[in-house]
Amino acid sequence: MHELRLLCPEDRVEVLGEALDALDALSVSVEDADAQTDAERALFGEPGMPPPAAGWQRSRIVALFPDEASAREAAALLRAQDFFSDCQLLGVGEVPQQDWVRLTQSQFAPVEITPSFWIVPTWHEPPAQAREVIRLDPGLAFGTGTHPTTRMCLRWIATHPVRDLRVLDYGCGSGILAIAAAKFGATDIDALDIDEAAVASTRLNAEANGVTLRAGLPDAVQGHYPVVLANILATPLKVLAPLLTARVATGGALVLAGILERQADELSAAYAPHLPAGSALTVADREDGWVLMTATL
Ligand X SMILES: C[S@@+](CC[C@H](N)C(=O)[O-])C[C@H]1O[C@@H](n2cnc3c(N)ncnc32)[C@H](O)[C@@H]1O
Assess 141 for contact with ligand X (CB under 6 A): yes
CA dist., res. 191 & res. 170, Å (int): 6
Residue from 3, 32, 193, 285 binding ligand X (CB under 6 A): 193
Q: In what order do the strands lie in the sheet with 111-114?
A: 111-114, 117-120, 132-135
What separation, in Å, do the N-terminal and C-terminal C-alpha atoms of the chain show? 58
Footprint (CB under 6 A) of ligand X, residues 196-235: 198, 218, 231-232
Give the nearer residue to ligand X in terms of CB position, either 56 or 290.
290
Q: What radius of gyration do the chain's Cα atoms show?
A: 23
Is there a binding annotation on residue 188? no
171 is in an annotated binding site: yes
Query: Is residue 150 a known part of a binding site?
Result: yes
Contact 145, 134 (CB under 8 A): yes
Contact of 133 with 113, CB cutoff 8 Å = no
Query: Which distant-in-sequence residues (6+ apart) come within 8 Å of 175 by Cβ?
Result: 141, 143, 169, 191, 198, 201, 202, 203, 205, 206, 213, 215
What order of strands is seen across the sheet that includes strand 2-9?
A: 27-32, 58-65, 2-9, 88-94
Residue 264: CB minimum distance to ligand X, A: 17
Residue 244 within binding range of ligand X, rule CB under 6 A: no
Among 258, 267, 294, 297, binds ligand X (CB under 6 A): 258
CB of 172 to ligand X, least distance (A): 5
The answer to whether 236 contacts ligand X (rule: CB under 6 A) is: yes
By rule CB under 6 A, what count of residues binds ligand X?
Answer: 21
Per-residue binder mask for ligand X (CB under 6 A), 146-185, x = binder: ----x--x----------------xxxx--xx--------
Q: Which residues bind ligand X (CB under 6 A)?
A: 141-143, 150, 153, 170-173, 176-177, 193-195, 198, 218, 231-232, 236, 240, 258
Binding residues are 150, 171, 193, 231
